[in-house]
Amino acid sequence: MLKCAVLVVAAGKGHRFGTQMPKQYQTIAGKMVLRSSLATFCAHPSIQCVRAVINMDDKALYETAAEGLNVLPPVSGGKTRQESVLFGLESLKEENPDIVLIHDGARPFVDFSLINRVILKVKKNQGALPAVAVVDTIKKSVEKDGETLISHTVERENLWRVQTPQGFMFEEILEAHLGVKGQELTDDASLFEKEGKAVVIVKGEETNFKITTQEDLQRAIAMVEARKQEIRCGSGFDVHKFSEGAFVTLCGVEIPHNKGLEGHSDADVALHALTDALLGAVGAGDIGLHFPPSEPQWKGCDSSVFLKHAVGLVLGLGAEILNVDITMICERPKIGAYRLEMVEKLSEMLEISASRISIKATTTEQLGFTGRKEGIAAQASVSLRI
């Protein structure tokens, strides 16, 4: 799988906005404009790292916007947009991504589908950007005797309003930016155009507009208020097999047993199922995608790390966890005596009341692999309000 990084450009001071507070730090329904897109990129299953380019004078505002999100530390922007993007790209070199998406921090409503469309079109010698066709009649003007007069009508066929994120192969766009150091650019695709490389248009969204004026902000607030809250469900399932050992870890609680569970991490099968259920509810992939078993850093890892990552991700999207329901399936060990302790652990990790947490256990009547005491299976369901 190609590694995809995102650079969110949010270094502007927003002169056109007419307030002290830059537009990317204005709030919409209690959420900062910049936070919305950061959280969406963080939750996207094909994106591995997200970094913002900011004005360090606004560091405190940024910290609030990014609180709890799994983003790389921000880097400082430059004097122009081009310089800011260049600094951001250079800082991403150590992440060694294949693809980079460059996004405008003042476009809060970018969604998974649009991101998918861009990523799917990026390849060597080809960038991709979302755009919407121009439907208004476009006129060009001239100034004469203090009045603005129409000069002529511009052919509107093949005219597009372009948006972000714009996607490129990382090495190619970095090289292009290094080649134009210091020039003023309004977008990144123009560098590819100059080099004669292809830039493919994918379907943009009217909702993916940029907040530039107070009017835009009011439109954004109205849009969020009109969106009904929805309920989401997710489910997860996992199995680990028994191996040598003296205890098993289930829902973060160590339970003495004459066997252990085999696995790359601490093999907490219940937390793995629950983590998958949370990721599933927001379409954010699965635990293996976020924590590849091939990476040695997760060896023997406490599975609460995985769960907390998923919790941070769903909360970042503005979701509230309504309830979770876990069933562990095994003949032995017996779970009942540990149920309360498990509920308390989960209550802490999920930041929800114990009354919203259910832990159950069952056997398969000595049938199948759990019946033969070869391992433990767990399934989990969650519901969220988002």
Residue 146 CA to residue 168 CA, distance in Å, equals 44
Question: Which residue, 55 or 265, has its beta carbon nearer to Mg ion?
Answer: 265
Least spacing, CB of residue 269 vs Mg ion, in Å = 6
Least spacing, CB of residue 301 vs Mg ion, in Å = 11
Least spacing, CB of residue 240 vs Mg ion, in Å = 6
Would you list the DSSP string of 275-290?
A: HHHHHHHTT---HHHH
Question: Which residue, 12 or 263, has its beta carbon nearer to Mg ion?
Answer: 263
Place of tokens 């191996």: 243
Instruction: Please give the radius of gyration of the chain, using alpha carbons only, rounded to the nearest integer.
Output: 25
Least spacing, CB of residue 335 vs Mg ion, in Å = 17
| H helical segments located in the chain | 33-43, 59-66, 81-92, 112-121, 170-179, 189-194, 214-226, 269-281, 287-290, 304-316, 339-350, 368-371
Applying CB under 5 A, the site for Mg ion has a residue count of 2
Least spacing, CB of residue 376 vs Mg ion, in Å = 10
Question: Which residue, 149 or 289, has its beta carbon nearer to Mg ion?
Answer: 289
385: tokens are 């309000």
Phi, psi of 52 (to 5 degrees): -105, 150
Point out which span in 5-13, 187-195, 217-225, 268-276 binds Mg ion (CB under 5 A).
268-276
Q: Minimal CB distance to Mg ion: which residue?
A: 272
Question: Which residue, 172 or 238, has its beta carbon nearer to Mg ion?
Answer: 238
Least spacing, CB of residue 288 vs Mg ion, in Å = 8
Question: Which residue, 176 or 330, has its beta carbon nearer to Mg ion?
Answer: 330
Question: Which residue, 83 or 238, has its beta carbon nearer to Mg ion?
Answer: 238
Point out which span in 106-114, 247-255, 267-275, 333-341 binds Mg ion (CB under 5 A).
267-275
Q: Give residue 120's region: left, alpha or beta (phi > 0; psi -120 to 50).
A: alpha
In the region spanning residues 209 to 238, those forming contacts with Mg ion, defined by CB under 5 A, are 238
Would you list the DSSP string of 185-217?
A: -S-SHHHHHHTT-EEEEEE--TTS----SHHHH
272 part of the interface to Mg ion, by CB under 5 A = yes
Number of residues that make up the chain:
386
Residue ranges in contact with Mg ion by CB under 5 A: 238, 272
